[in-house]
Structure 1
């Protein structure tokens, strides 16, 4: 079996060698803008890094704001630093203030000179960053229950639904469903308390769809992975593990979050989704996986906090959970630094040695290429890779480097299973 990796440490300051993507993420913030992680902690009313980890893990005793205005203001303040010279508000000279770009309302500058110097780079992404600034506020509606929208039963077999256009065609006109959210009380509360004017409804409606698409992107990607491996949910119940699940997938997760699979595969024999990762957030889905599959025609979601290979040894090997028919990883990030590579290594070797069908997504083609190099070094048998037709439509900003071209969740994928045949050592190409 694979060697043991120590459980991730929980320090009060970021580290570069952690197996936790949260710690790695905070390190990347500080590498781009020194001191930014501390600013974020202060804005969240947290005294140290341990409190942040507790909050992400669902164990915070009280992250409280006096009102919505304070909450949205403090969230926006975590983006306030000069995009050119990286100065934080605390480092400005007397009389200096940070001013937002009037077009995107997203990036800040401490002087006109900084803005002029940065404009050649910023103008390439200004329009896109305007959408990012809207989306990061509208996304709050995922927590109020306004999103995600209910969806319709599929009128086509899953094999015929190959991209978003096909999916949208089955849903009919989404406009009435999106428009119904616009005059709602929660939307009004949001823009009454946000630190910027309410955008036009013509901007808010597409934002609602982009956030809906990010939610559905994970579910549809799982369904696509099942088809890529020829798994038939009508022939038998299927168990799917989400390895490396984090706060992104599990914060405010509901037991119904994967019910789109019921529309994708009507009358299936049962689909179990087990989310496993050290950053799983406690909630309704943090319940034991099934040892024997339950009712047909239903999706059952559970979650386990811990590294995947340890979950296998502690739970799967003891037959307290079913072995997976498929393992999916959303943005594993093992390309990012040595700590994450080491954290993922036992899991990747386990997937390889047990010949488990595996399907991982990435944010970009560059991340895909880096990940492919690591998988090939491990002699993984890579089936195919390329652009995901169900990529999220919501642009993602690199917080510490806002003028970097935004990326999109699940934009690329790689499918692999087992050990690379010795006669096949060529690196796979990327699709166009």
Structure 2
């Protein structure tokens, strides 16, 4: 019997027993800065987590701002707390305000003493946190339609494209495209409405590229998975299941988002990408999977809202979707807490027992280490793991712990398939 889609909590209560990664994220925020999650909800004019989930999924009217200036100001307010002692603005003595670090423009302090005590830690990341602060604003262009940029056809074979430098060498028009975004009307609107000085054009071009790289890193991870398992998209159509996708991958997603695979494998027999996860956001990709082979030379994207083992029982086993040639997961997070582990366990066992080639990415080497431990406890056959040559170039700040070294989307990967061979299970 297939499990049901997890019900939303009736009220906001951060906890670790949820399969929703954003609820786990709220728990992490409150664990480090008590009350920060409430600040975020308040700035979004939401009463609780239920309203947040509804807005993310497009079920409610969404967040309404009177103008761009208010929008950017409220977004910045969600990052305001003393990095030294974790005080929120509401907990400061009357007349006292938080002051921003003048170098990174990204962290705040309630007093000079807090800033001085925190400097030995902050100085290690101050420079890179300036990039984070810029990217956090420029990323708005993903919602205006300016990003992601169109890419060019590959002039090299996939086996010859081993890193970002190889990929960039094929994109002759990229520099001009980045400059066009830098001088666009929406970029002007952005910096007119934020309370900080506009960076120079070179800094903005670099920021646009970092955000573009994060978008592309997911697509290129799928291409890596196809190559790692020796799949041939010219021999037959391929089916790729993206498992555990969330609002991060599906908010504003378009049917053309994985067309880079057609640049990577020109003239392929057809590639179907099915996005499955309990946090899938409604949009143009939320359409049924193919029940027959799709058009040649095209990438077809569909999506299903629910846990993967549920999708398998309700859709795949009934013949309403094809079985995957490979399964890809972005930052599964099953190392993080008990709820995510339990939510992922049926899926991981399904992948193992059906001997499905699987390729998962992680945010950091630490996440890879703990994920490998869990997979080995499940007696998974690990085929390969290590740093991803197509990791996102955009640093990700740990919001409630800004002095932690930033992480990068898809920075590491692990390939696994089936059960560990019996000879490896035997004790020496």
TM-score (norm 1): 0.97
Q: Give me the whole-angstrom Cα distance separating, in 2, the residues matched to 1:109 and 1:24.
A: 26
Other-structure match for 2:284? 284
Unaligned runs of 5+ in 2: none
> What is the CA distance between 1:174 and its match in structure 2?
2.3
Q: Give me the whole-angstrom Cα distance separating, in 2, the residues matched to 1:350 and 1:57.
A: 27
Is the contact made by 1:4 and 1:346 (CA closer than 8 Å) also made in structure 2? no
The SS at the match of 1:149 is coil
Q: Deviations over 1:135-176 (max 9, x none)?
A: 010011111111111111100111111110100011125221
Other-structure match for 1:262? 262
Other-structure match for 1:193? 193
Other-structure match for 2:28? 28
Q: Give me the whole-angstrom Cα distance separating, in 2, the residues matched to 1:355 and 1:339.
A: 25
Other-structure match for 2:175? 175
Other-structure match for 1:53? 53
Q: Give me the whole-angstrom Cα distance separating, in 2, the residues matched to 1:347 and 1:4.
A: 12
TM-score (norm 2): 0.97
Q: Deviations over 1:171-224 (max 9, x none)?
A: 125221111111211000100111211111121010000000000000001001
Is the contact made by 1:8 and 1:18 (CA closer than 8 Å) also made in structure 2? no
Other-structure match for 1:10? 9
Change (3 A) 1:368 1:135: same
The SS at the match of 1:171 is coil
Other-structure match for 1:252? 252
Other-structure match for 1:304? 304
Q: State the superposition RMSD in angstroms.
A: 1.3
Q: Give me the whole-angstrom Cα distance separating, in 1, the residues matched to 2:420 and 2:151.
A: 40
Change (3 A) 1:11 1:243: same
The SS at the match of 1:170 is coil
Is the contact made by 2:182 and 2:205 (CA closer than 8 Å) also made in structure 1? yes
Q: Give me the whole-angstrom Cα distance separating, in 1, the residues matched to 2:150 and 2:3.
A: 43
Other-structure match for 1:429? none
Q: Give me the whole-angstrom Cα distance separating, in 2, the residues matched to 1:61 and 1:183.
A: 32
Is the contact made by 2:8 and 2:50 (CA closer than 8 Å) also made in structure 1? no
Other-structure match for 2:109? 109
Q: Give me the whole-angstrom Cα distance separating, in 1, the residues matched to 2:121 and 2:7.
A: 37
Matched, 1:413 2:409: no
Other-structure match for 2:271? 271
Is the contact made by 2:84 and 2:109 (CA closer than 8 Å) also made in structure 1? yes
Q: Give me the whole-angstrom Cα distance separating, in 2, the residues matched to 1:250 and 1:424.
A: 39
Is the contact made by 2:5 and 2:306 (CA closer than 8 Å) also made in structure 1? no
Other-structure match for 1:430? none
Comparing 156-165 and 169-178, the one that deviates more: 169-178
Q: Deviations over 1:229-260 (max 9, x none)?
A: 00000000001000000011000001100000
Is the contact made by 1:335 and 1:371 (CA closer than 8 Å) also made in structure 2? yes
Other-structure match for 1:233? 233
Q: Give me the whole-angstrom Cα distance separating, in 2, the residues matched to 1:17 and 1:32.
A: 18
Other-structure match for 1:42? 42
Unaligned runs of 5+ in 1: 427-432
Q: Give me the whole-angstrom Cα distance separating, in 2, the residues matched to 1:219 and 1:135.
A: 20
Q: Give me the whole-angstrom Cα distance separating, in 1, the residues matched to 2:3 and 2:186.
A: 47
The SS at the match of 1:239 is strand
| 1:95-244 equivalences in 2 (<5 Å) | 95-172=95-172, 174-244=174-244
Q: Give me the whole-angstrom Cα distance separating, in 1, the residues matched to 2:197 and 2:47.
A: 31
| 1:380-399 equivalences in 2 (<5 Å) | 380-399=380-399
Q: Which consecutive segments of 4 or more residues in structure 1 shift more than 4 A?
A: 3-6
Other-structure match for 1:316? 316
Is the contact made by 1:76 and 1:195 (CA closer than 8 Å) also made in structure 2? no
> What is the CA distance between 1:6 and its match in structure 2?
7.0
Q: Deviations over 1:252-291 (max 9, x none)?
A: 0011000000100000000000000000110000111111
> What is the CA distance between 1:11 and its match in structure 2?
3.6
> What is the CA distance between 1:4 and its match in structure 2?
4.5
Q: Deviations over 1:24-65 (max 9, x none)?
A: 111001001000010000101111111001112221224200
Q: Deviations over 1:285-341 (max 9, x none)?
A: 011111112110000001111001001111111100001101000000000001100
Is the contact made by 2:210 and 2:394 (CA closer than 8 Å) also made in structure 1? yes
The SS at the match of 1:424 is helix
Matched, 1:374 2:392: no
Is the contact made by 1:368 and 1:412 (CA closer than 8 Å) also made in structure 2? yes
| 1:329-408 equivalences in 2 (<5 Å) | 329-408=329-408
